[in-house]
């Protein structure tokens, strides 16, 4: 299997790592040097030819081949069997609804949240439990990192050059979770988005970092919904965009015990996650001075209950859920789901 990438001779492994730093191929952390045999193993694991086109970014007319994906997956520390998940995520990012160019260049500083569903979660040992947004699990850490390296090395989204993020957030290193489907009383995310339960799938979302929602003493579903909706209504992240709400098992148990369904949760959150037009103007979210009647005219987070995507994940103990808003101040990027072959 012939590869197109140029080869660089180095004396040893440490020199190979330093070469990657010198050539700007890293995210600031050391990478695994990509050898030709390793790249071929990754391509074979996905049944891809080196020149198969995986993604086309239309704005700058950049094409990403399977070989480039494999190289960056090796650099990120992935295992070959992660390739089908990575390819599905990249194909989802290529969907026009995701608005890839804007998501990786905006001053808003989004990162690509990846949610993995279906049997592949367990087969590849993705973490859906405790510390789900944190370190410690190779599949989560390296798959999310591979996406970041691809945006850096293949799409040119270097910080301060094309990536104009004002502050960014740690999810720009890696931002990949799985859903704890076994602890959910509702259909998992990929089923809610139209795929069969037995399918494996990946959902991508251009997102801010997770906003913690602490509700230790909320012993009813109403109390939990109040806390989450209040976080969703914060001025700093208020927009008509979509949202992810990642519910911890402790909160899920209370919601299920009180008989709340997914539609009811969405409707209640949408109804309560709102601010007056006057508030939005005072906080600089809308232009102009406050006008008569705007103290009692309301705007909601998102455009309707279906803009709120519910996912169950996290450790079994602790009243901590998370609200993850879309990056854009408008409605420039939507969540996209793709089945993993």
For residue 80, count other CB atoms closer than 10 A to its CB.
18
**pLDDT-based confidence at residue 125 (cuts at 50, 70, 90):** very high
Percent of the chain at pLDDT > 90 equals: 91
Q: What is the pLDDT of residue 118?
A: 98
User: Cα 309 vs. chain centroid, distance in angstroms?
Assistant: 12
Q: What is the pLDDT of residue 28?
A: 96
pLDDT digits 0-9 by tens, 30-84: 999 999 999 999 999 999 999 999 999 989 889 999 999 999 999 999 999 999 9
pLDDT digits 0-9 by tens, 301-328: 999 999 999 999 999 999 999 999 998 7
Q: What is the pLDDT of residue 282?
A: 96
**pLDDT-based confidence at residue 332 (cuts at 50, 70, 90):** confident
Report d(CA 99, CA 104) in Å as an integer: 9
Percent of the chain at pLDDT > 70 equals: 100
pLDDT at 201 over 90: yes
**pLDDT-based confidence at residue 195 (cuts at 50, 70, 90):** very high
Q: What is the pLDDT of residue 330?
A: 84
Report d(CA 339, CA 111) in Å as an integer: 21
Residue 274 · residue 296 · CB < 8 Å:
no
**pLDDT-based confidence at residue 198 (cuts at 50, 70, 90):** very high
- Mean pLDDT over each residue of the chain, to the nearest integer: 96
HEC string of the chain equals CCCCCCCCCCCCHHHHHHHHHHCCCCCCCCCCCCCHHHHHHHHHHHCCCCCCEEEEECCCCEEEEHHHHHHHHHHHCCCHHHHHHHHHHHHHHCCHHHCHHHHHHCCCCCEEEEEEECCHHHHCCCCCCCCCCCCCCHHHHHHHHHHHHHHHHCCCCCECCCECCCCCCHHHCCCEEECCHHHCCCCCHHHHCCCCCCCCEEEEEEECCCEEEECCCCCCHHHHHHHHHHHHCCHHHCCCCCEEEEECHHHHHHHHHCCCCHHHHHHHHHHHCEEEHHHHHHCCCCCCCCCCCCCCCEEECCCCHHHEEEEECCCCCCCEEEEEEECCCCCCCCCEEEECC
Q: What is the pLDDT of residue 218?
A: 86
Q: What is the pLDDT of residue 109?
A: 86
pLDDT digits 0-9 by tens, 219-251: 999 999 999 999 999 999 999 999 999 999 999
pLDDT digits 0-9 by tens, 134-167: 999 999 999 999 999 999 999 999 998 989 999 9
pLDDT at 14 over 80: yes
Q: What is the mean pLDDT of residues 272-286?
A: 96
């Amino acid at each position: 299997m012939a590869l197109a990438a140029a080869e660089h001779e180095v004396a040893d492994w440490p020199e190979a790592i330093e070469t990657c730093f010198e050539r700007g191929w890293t995210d600031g952390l050391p990478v695994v040097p990509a050898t030709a045999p390793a790249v071929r193993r990754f391509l074979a694991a996905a049944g891809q030819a080196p020149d198969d086109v995986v993604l086309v970014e239309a704005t700058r007319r950049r094409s990403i081949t399977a070989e480039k994906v494999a190289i960056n997956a090796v650099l990120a520390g992935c295992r070959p069997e992660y390739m089908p998940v990575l390819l599905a995520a990249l194909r989802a990012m290529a969907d026009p609804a995701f608005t890839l160019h804007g998501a990786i260049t905006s001053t808003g500083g989004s990162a690509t949240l990846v949610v993995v569903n279906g049997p592949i979660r367990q087969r590849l040992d993705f973490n859906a439990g405790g510390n789900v947004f944190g370190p410690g699990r190779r599949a989560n850490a390296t798959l999310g990192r591979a996406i970041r390296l691809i945006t850096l090395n293949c799409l040119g989204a270097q910080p301060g050059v094309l990536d104009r993020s004002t502050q960014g957030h740690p999810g720009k290193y890696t931002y990949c979770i799985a859903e704890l489907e076994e602890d959910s009383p509702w259909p998992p995310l990929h089923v809610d988005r139209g795929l069969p339960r037995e399918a494996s799938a990946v959902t991508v979302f251009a997102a801010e970092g997770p906003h913690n929602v602490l509700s230790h003493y909320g012993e009813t579903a109403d109390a939990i919904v109040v806390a989450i909706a209040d976080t969703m209504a914060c001025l700093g992240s208020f927009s008509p965009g979509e949202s992810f709400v990642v519910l911890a098992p402790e909160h899920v148990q209370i919601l299920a015990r009180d008989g709340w369904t997914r539609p009811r949760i969405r409707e209640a959150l949408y109804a309560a996650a709102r601010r007056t037009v006057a508030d939005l103007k005072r906080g600089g979210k809308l232009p102009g001075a406050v006008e008569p009647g705007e103290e009692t005219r309301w705007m909601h987070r998102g455009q309707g209950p279906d803009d709120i995507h519910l996912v169950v994940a996290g450790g079994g103990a602790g009243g901590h859920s998370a609200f993850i808003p879309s990056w854009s101040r408008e409605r420039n990027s939507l969540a996209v789901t793709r089945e993993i072959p």
